[in-house]
């Protein structure tokens, strides 16, 4: 006796997945319309800030980007600490040249023979934080370029209002090719998720390319057993260990963005995503349940829709998926405009489908595999 899968059951699964999608749009993603993307008015006394950059063989990026960071307009004092993590390129010479003109630039050297207390980038970060004179920290990477000279002031503004962790947007430069388009699309999608979750009181991640925190909260995170599970993931783990519904802010104004060059080959991009996604297994169970429900619902919705095209439900399935895509497209338009990624709206729903394939491909790294390298 053969067993056939009933179209009615398939349609029921499709409707369930569709309702999940609408639920996430209603309770989380629509909050993106409330994200303030205007310049923050500073109505408090700005404290001094330590900007920390971890650099391993980053001579060219430092030479290209460091001046924009050192020339930030800021009403308070600030220092820039570059942690030279056993570089064997020209990083040291680049920093020495900059120090001739900027007395607020400090280099912290790490020898290749030094015993490491923490894995990978976290050791470099710990050295930079230990050397920091000030309690307000702003973290970025050597390959990141602040969008404007007001980046520093806008990123630390929430700290002055009592927040302890600030999540910013770290975008990628526009370049020709499908890989670049999808990289930027996925980055915007990630921001949509973590920003609206944080606005709902459920912070779960930030991006190390552009985040701020207090020194007190960073030191607190380092004492957790979770902190040294991975060589990277310091951004997500900081939020995981110390983030609460009240102490995390999201900055969405264009002055506060950073941008860097995206990977140019699929192999480089795949390695980067494996590293980024390895932190997901350490999220709180409530967050993993929400992210998993959204991802599974998304996949079931699209797979169910394509299968229903071969059944009597094809017309109603097409109408329902059109309504879903319209709702998400409107959310996507709002998000991309706030992040100055307006051209990406034309790739929806093509990359929406691509994101489903992406989740299937990287499921092992989301659930159990670790990447044990920083660089």
What's the confidence (pLDDT) of residue 188? 95
Higher-confidence residue of 310 and 349: namely 310
Rounded Cα gap, residues 49 and 70, in angstroms:
12
Q: Is residue 353 part of a domain?
A: no
> Residue 16 in contact with residue 303, Cβ under 8 Å?
no
Q: Per the structure, how many domains does the chain have?
A: 1
Write down the residue that tokens 């659930």 correspond to. Answer: 367
Q: Is 102 exposed, middle or buried (0-12, 13-18, 19+ CB in 10 A)?
A: middle
- Quick one: DSSP state of residue 79? E
Write down the residue that tokens 């109505």 correspond to. Answer: 43
Q: Is residue 8 part of a domain?
A: no
Q: Is residue 333 part of a domain?
A: no
Reduce the DSSP state of residue 196 to 3 states and report it: helix
- Distances from the Cα of 306 to the Cα of 57, 229, 295, 311, 333, angstroms: 48, 40, 17, 10, 25
Reduce the DSSP state of residue 224 to 3 states and report it: coil
Q: Is 309 exposed, middle or buried (0-12, 13-18, 19+ CB in 10 A)?
A: exposed
- Report residue 42: phi and psi, to 5°: -85, 110
Residue count (the chain): 375
Q: Is residue 103 over pLDDT 70?
A: yes
CATH number of the domain enclosing 57: 3.90.550.10
Whether this model's pTM surpasses 0.75: yes
Q: Is residue 300 part of a domain?
A: no
- Helical (H) or strand (E) element with 51: strand 49-55
Higher-confidence residue of 129 and 3: namely 129
What's the confidence (pLDDT) of residue 232? 76
What's the confidence (pLDDT) of residue 136? 97
For the beta carbon of residue 196, count every other beta carbon within 10 angstroms: 24
Q: Is residue 91 part of a domain?
A: yes
Q: Is residue 227 part of a domain?
A: yes
Q: Is residue 311 part of a domain?
A: no
Which tens digit of pLDDT belongs to each residue from 164-213?
A: 999 999 999 999 999 999 999 999 999 999 999 999 999 999 999 999 99
Nearest alpha carbon to residue 106 among 123, 127, 90: 127
Q: Which of 94-98, 327-331, 353-357 has the lowest mean pLDDT?
A: 353-357
CA atoms within 13 A on the CB side of 123: 19
What's the confidence (pLDDT) of residue 362? 63
What's the confidence (pLDDT) of residue 278? 74
Q: Is residue 370 over pLDDT 70?
A: no
What's the confidence (pLDDT) of residue 2? 45
Arithmetic mean of pLDDT over the chain: 90
Rounded Cα gap, residues 195 and 208, in angstroms:
15
- Its domain, for residue 151, covers 36-176+203-265
Which tens digit of pLDDT belongs to each residue from 260-312?
A: 999 989 888 888 777 767 788 889 999 999 999 999 999 999 999 999 999 99
């Amino acid at each position: 006796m053969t067993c056939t899968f009933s179209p009615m059951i398939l349609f029921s699964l499709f409707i369930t997945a569709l309702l999940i999608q609408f639920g996430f749009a209603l309770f989380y993603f629509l909050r993106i319309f409330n994200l303030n993307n205007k310049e923050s008015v500073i109505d408090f006394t700005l404290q001094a800030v330590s900007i920390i950059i971890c650099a391993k063989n980053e001579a060219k990026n430092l030479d290209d980007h460091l001046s924009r960071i050192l020339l930030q307009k800021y009403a308070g004092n600030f220092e820039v600490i570059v942690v030279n993590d056993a570089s064997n390129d020209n990083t040291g010479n680049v920093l020495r040249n900059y120090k001739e003109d900027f007395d607020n630039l400090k280099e912290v050297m790490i020898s290749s023979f030094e015993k490491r207390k923490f894995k990978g980038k976290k050791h470099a970060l710990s050295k930079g934080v230990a050397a920091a004179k000030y309690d307000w920290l702003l973290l970025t990477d050597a390959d990141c370029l602040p969008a404007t000279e007001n980046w520093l002031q806008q990123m630390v503004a929430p700290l002055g209002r009592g927040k302890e962790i600030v999540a910013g947007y770290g975008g990628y430069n526009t370049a020709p090719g499908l890989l670049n388009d999808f990289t930027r699309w996925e980055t915007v999608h990630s921001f949509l998720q973590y920003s609206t979750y944080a606005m709902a009181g459920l912070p779960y991640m930030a991006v190390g390319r552009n985040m701020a925190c207090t020194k007190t909260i960073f030191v607190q995170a380092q004492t957790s057993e979770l902190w040294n599970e991975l060589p990277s993931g310091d951004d997500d783990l900081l939020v995981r260990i110390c983030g609460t519904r009240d102490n995390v802010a999201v900055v969405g104004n264009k002055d506060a963005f950073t941008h860097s060059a995206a990977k140019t080959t699929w192999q480089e991009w795949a390695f980067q995503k494996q590293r980024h996604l390895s932190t997901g297994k350490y999220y709180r169970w409530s967050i993993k349940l929400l992210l998993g429900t959204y991802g599974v619902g998304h996949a079931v919705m699209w797979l169910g829709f394509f299968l229903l095209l071969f059944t009597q439900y094809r017309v109603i399935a097409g109408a329902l998926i059109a309504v879903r895509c319209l709702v998400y497209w409107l959310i996507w338009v709002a998000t991309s405009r706030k992040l100055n990624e307006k051209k990406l709206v034309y790739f929806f729903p093509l990359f929406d489908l691509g994101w489903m394939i992406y989740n299937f491909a990287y499921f092992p790294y989301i659930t159990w595999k670790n990447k044990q390298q920083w660089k």
